[in-house]
């Protein structure tokens, strides 16, 4: 069994990872980190996740969390992730990053770490979203510029960023398939006529929606809709564990979920 340290073990994703690791055939929980001074410090990670004691205590000391592990999964906060990733690189530990909104500083840290260790980064760890992104790119390439493209996403009322990182990922994929830069063709302002070749985004924030994403390719006589519905956040944790299982032993470099799935 290969040891996994979960950074952000007190969060929803962290607890989902702890629960799934309890029954994983090849991976086991080896460390659990929370933010400094959090009430979860010292608690058993299994009890915190609602599955009973597993003997791994939650700590707010990163060196302690990384002491006996072979791979690290980070679902923390954008401000914390760069430091976590660089610390993993210093220790030669491969890392899977699912933290969203990391920005330029975070991306720079990922690239720096990837010189020394294998890093898997994705704005959405869902296996289905990875396949959706591939299908949307193929559709955009095959249908060509005569089809308008809309990316529609819906999330719970508390989500702050819009469009979602996943929606932007989809937009980047379809833009690249049409030899465009998303920055040049992105349409957020819906007033006035639609610009030719534009890729539009629409966001919904309501209730407790886990995450819905659709890519609409709309022509004069037909519409193709590709859609992914997330029913439970455990799917993101399951994808992260697949990435963690895959990345152990890989050469240094920056990878994505497409690499994990062999696309």
- Catalytically annotated residues: 155, 159
Distance set, CA 16 to CA 94, 197, 209, 240, 255 (Å): 20, 40, 17, 11, 23
DSSP letters spanning 2-56: EEEEEETTTSHHHHHHHHHHTT-SSEEEEEEE--TT-TTTTSBHHHHTTS---S-
Cα gap 112→116, rounded to integer Å: 8
State both tokens at 215. 């890519």
Residue 100, Cβ neighbours under 10 Å: how many? 18
């Amino acid at each position: 069994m290969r040891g996994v340290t979960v950074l952000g073990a007190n969060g929803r994703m962290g607890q989902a990872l702890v629960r799934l690791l309890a029954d994983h055939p090849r991976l086991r929980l080896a460390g659990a980190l929370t933010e400094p001074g959090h009430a979860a410090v010292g608690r058993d990670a299994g009890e915190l996740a609602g599955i009973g004691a597993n003997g791994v205590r939650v700590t707010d000391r990163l060196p302690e969390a990384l002491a006996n592990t072979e791979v690290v999964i980070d679902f923390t906060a954008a401000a914390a992730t760069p430091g976590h990733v660089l610390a993993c690189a210093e220790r030669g530990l491969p890392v899977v990053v699912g933290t969203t909104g990391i920005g330029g500083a975070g991306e720079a840290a990922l690239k720096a770490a990837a010189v020394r260790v294998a890093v898997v980064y994705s704005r959405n760890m869902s296996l289905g979203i990875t396949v959706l992104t591939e299908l949307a790119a193929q559709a955009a390439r095959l249908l060509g510029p005569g089809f308008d493209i809309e990316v529609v996403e819906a999330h719970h009322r508390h989500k702050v960023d819009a469009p979602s990182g996943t929606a932007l990922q989809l937009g980047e994929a379809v833009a690249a398939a049409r030899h465009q830069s998303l920055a040049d063709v992105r349409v957020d302002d819906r007033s006035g006529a639609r610009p030719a070749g534009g890729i539009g985004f629409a966001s919904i924030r309501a209730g407790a929606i886990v995450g819905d994403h659709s890519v609409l390719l709309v022509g004069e006589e037909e519409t193709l809709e590709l859609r992914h519905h997330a029913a439970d956040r455990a799917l993101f944790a399951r994808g992260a564990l697949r990435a963690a299982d895959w990345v152990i032993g890989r050469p240094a470099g920056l990878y994505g979920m497409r690499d994990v799935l062999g696309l």
